[in-house]
Chains A and B, each alone.
Chain A
């Protein structure tokens, strides 16, 4: 695994970790759409962007 891959793997791991921690701590009492709902939607969105960037050199 190259340095670039390792870097992105760590970023991805951190994102997933935050998606576990924040809803059960900071957002546990925020019963609004902009609480855990928005956080997890944003996670999905960031993951898509992450994959677009990570795979940009895969050509035919």
Chain B
């Protein structure tokens, strides 16, 4: 694909996004909840598109297609099980929303710190989120790098792609905080779903229609339609990859923070349902994309280039190829800028705000804005290290965040949970995930996320049982949620 066309595509996308970001401004935001939560006044439609763009990143179009290419239909199961896990939003979403509205929480870790009545809880969970989310952002940046390099046959280098994505992510988060991020996300989500669906329809038609498409897979790649298939999706791999992702909607603060933002229960519902419809289509598209690449180019060495190869094929008109490429880059950026904002707010509110005395909102906001580009640069360094298969690394990041799940469940449903229980479960669980990832050791063949979750669950319960819970706060918090759930979320 000609480089100048790609540069044009990228330039048009940048101008359009900057315009949308500019329009999204609504006066100068001086408060943390204004800048990071849009004053809790976001409507369902924008929230849904933005939630989708944040969740679905370069991982889907590059990584999930790559996983389908490499291991077959198990990739669909992996993603659909994550998708089913988003139903957790139906249970926890209203509770996050109610708590955020009453107590003014800006971050999920602030909520945990307050509920467990201990500032160190907020600090520990925030730091752990940073440790695991920075590599996750790096994965997104690397996705952009692979894509532009693959599509231009090296004409535009990996590093150029990574740097451009990083700069745009910083700019989008800076213009108007979450408002500019959500509006540019929405633009990106629409672009992404329309362009990628068109490609799949064209390619499947080009391959002779749905019947022939699957007929060819059944005949030439029959192992790709079953699990464990060619062996890639062994049951232990499948469990290790899916279980951390089932909890993604709660464990990843860049999405769980979104639960504080909708303006009403109706908007919260709009966000959830909009996301589910978007996610369903997008998942199918990404997997069919991987299958298409398998049919057309069965012998690729690196599954991550399945998507770029498909886009550069004769089935996709060059202009559409460019649009999709830009859409994928946009997908990566929309994930990174949300992560930057979330980590900026976590650091300013929960780490700086708790460790330093008398820090006002204005100062917290200033700190948040300073920390965002620093995090982006750290992600850039990781991306430049060009680690292996994108999907696998992405899962490793979410494995590390899963260790906060027992504390999050306990926050709403277990009065006996204690700060010591939370802190020990997150630190020991997180350390275990890191050790297992670095040594590549998989006890019983199971991945780090499962062991992290088991150990953190055991520690949270046992340590809580032998230490003193913040009974008064727990009763007040849980009592409030219980009452309001009855009045605001049931008939």
Contact = CB atoms under 8 A, between A and B. Distances in A.
A29 B226 contact: yes
Interface stretch (B19-27, B273-281, B312-320): B273-281
Contact of B268 (A1, A32, A36, A58): A58
B132 to A, nearest CB: 24
Contact of B280 (A20, A32, A48): A48
A40 to B, nearest CB: 4
Contacts of B273: 48, 51-52, 55
Contacts of B486: 2
Most B Cβ at <10 Å: residue of A5, A16, A37: A37
A47 B87 contact: yes
Given A40-B77, A58-B265, A58-B266, A16 B225 contact: no
B280 A60 contact: no
B489 A37 contact: no
A51 B73 contact: no
A48 B225 contact: no
A36 B225 contact: yes
Contacts of A40: 73, 76-77, 80
Contacts of B87: 12, 47, 50-51, 54
B294 to A, nearest CB: 13
B218 interface: yes
Interface string A17-60: 00110011001111111011100110111011011101101111
A35 B225 contact: yes
B226 A27 contact: yes
B306 interface: no
A47 B73 contact: no
Given A24-B227, A48-B280, A59 B85 contact: no
Given A1-B413, A16-B81, A16-B246, A31 B265 contact: no
A43 B218 contact: no
Query: Could you tell me the dominant secondary structure of chain A's interface residues?
Result: helix
Contact of B84 (A1, A24, A29, A47): A47
Most B Cβ at <10 Å: residue of A15, A27, A51, A58: A58
Contacts of B267: 60
Given A40-B73, A41-B284, A58-B489, A51 B90 contact: yes
A12 B84 contact: yes
B269 A20 contact: no
Interface in B212-253: 214, 217-218, 222-223, 225-228, 235, 238-239, 242, 246
B438 interface: no
Nearest to A49: B276
A31 B226 contact: yes
Contacts of B440: none
Contacts of B85: 16
Interface in B70-91: 73-74, 76-77, 80-81, 83-87, 90-91
Contact of A48 (B226, B263, B277, B491): B277
Contact of B77 (A8, A29, A36, A54): A36
Interface string B192-222: 0000000000000000000000100110001
A46 B444 CA distance: 33
A19 B84 contact: yes
A37 B90 contact: no
A28 B222 CA distance: 11
Most A Cβ at <10 Å: residue of B86, B90, B489: B90
Contact of B223 (A16, A19, A31): A31
B90 A54 contact: yes
Given A24-B228, A31-B225, A45-B280, A16 B84 contact: yes
A20 B87 CA distance: 17
Interface in B162-201: none
Nearest to A12: B87
Contacts of B225: 30-33, 35-37
Given A31-B218, A48-B277, 7 more contacts: A1-B91, A8-B90, A30-B225, A41-B284, A43-B83, A44-B83, A57-B490
Name the 3 nearest CB pairs between A and B, nearest first. Answer: A31-B222, A58-B265, A60-B266
Interface of B: 73-74, 76-77, 80-81, 83-87, 90-91, 94, 214, 217-218, 222-223, 225-228, 235, 238-239, 242, 246, 263-269, 272-273, 276-277, 280, 283-284, 413, 485-486, 489-491
11 contacts: A24-B227, A32-B214, A32-B225, A37-B73, A44-B83, A51-B90, A51-B276, A54-B90, A58-B94, A58-B265, A59-B266
